[in-house]
Structure 1
Amino acid sequence: MAVQCLLQSREGEEPRQILISQGALLPLAKMMLPNKVSVNGSTATTLSGPPYIFVSTPACVQRCLSSGVLQAKSIHDYLSIIILDKADLIFTYGYEKNLKDLKTHIPKRCQCLLMAATSSDDVESLKKLYLHNPYILTLAEVGDGKDEIVPKNIQCSYRDKLLYILAILKLDLVQKKFGIKSAVLNAELPVN
């Protein structure tokens, strides 16, 4: 079984590869493909067999196929799931031709997931191109969250300030639980 995740830009590749590796039950062979694909020993060895999970942009996959780094037969024989992340934006990055060219290498049995925040003409085009019998999952809006977010202010002495900051960071309350950027202000720093 192989999974291919196509992204609209290269910025999302590394975080998704880390997330996929952490959630995998088996150790995965992973590599970052540079913008200019060159076949060296390690690249050829890693991609010689069927890939388990391949995260890339459509243009990079197309370049890998045309240069022989990635084998079309390997994709056709082993690909079982393809994920088009941010499908509503993927055409705006200029990948329409790449996606149409890649469609010829994807087997009919392959399950395709389109993930989009909005429904647009681009998503409809991708549905017609990649999906056979689509099921559309529309998530209900869960408010704007303004009522749920409450700013917290802790009045403490100068000596206790670092202790509070350390406790918040060690408990992972700031970054991992809420996923928001935060700032710690103190008397030594200007507010602006």
Structure 2
Amino acid sequence: MRLFLLLGSLLLCFGCKTENTSALQDDIKVEKIDSLSKEKIKSELLKISPEAEKSLESFEDFQNLRSLMHTMHDANAFYAKKYADSADILVGTFEENLSEDLNVNTINSRITVLSTESALLAQLSKKKRVRSEEILGANTRLIKAYNSLVIQLNELSLAIPENIEKELLKDLEDEEN
């Protein structure tokens, strides 16, 4: 008799635990990311300077990256999630095909940050249960990393090349003597 009471109480305890976990699983609802949502990121996309534009016009990978960043900037969470893999691949392609004059530490560090943010967005987009706020947050960080790259490209295009700088310094020395 005691054995039956013990088994009955054990079954009752285990039965309650399975019911609680199933009740918890029912409470967790996956929010569907809507393609018609009006939610977008609030960060602005920086423009590239005319000097940098002129030097980068033949660099097709940058033109493709800029076009995709404009798409990502205007995208809601659904489309940001949809294009996350494309952004990650395009950033990698841009990094691989970087021209010799752009292969400097400052540009490489900005590309590394951009690559990290695009990979994080791509990883987040592969999750089954992801909220639109998470996608939009990752997309905002991606746009900020792109803006940082644009700032650096603008600064690089305005920088005085070393040979011109040396000539200017030589002219200054000649004037002083």
| Pairwise TM-score range, normalised by the shorter structure | under 0.3
The structure carrying a bigger strand percent of its residues is 1
The normalised TM-score by structure 1 is 0.22
Please identify the structure whose Cα radius of gyration is greater. Answer: 2
Larger RCO: 1 or 2 (CA < 8 Å, sep 6+): 2
The normalised TM-score by structure 2 is 0.24
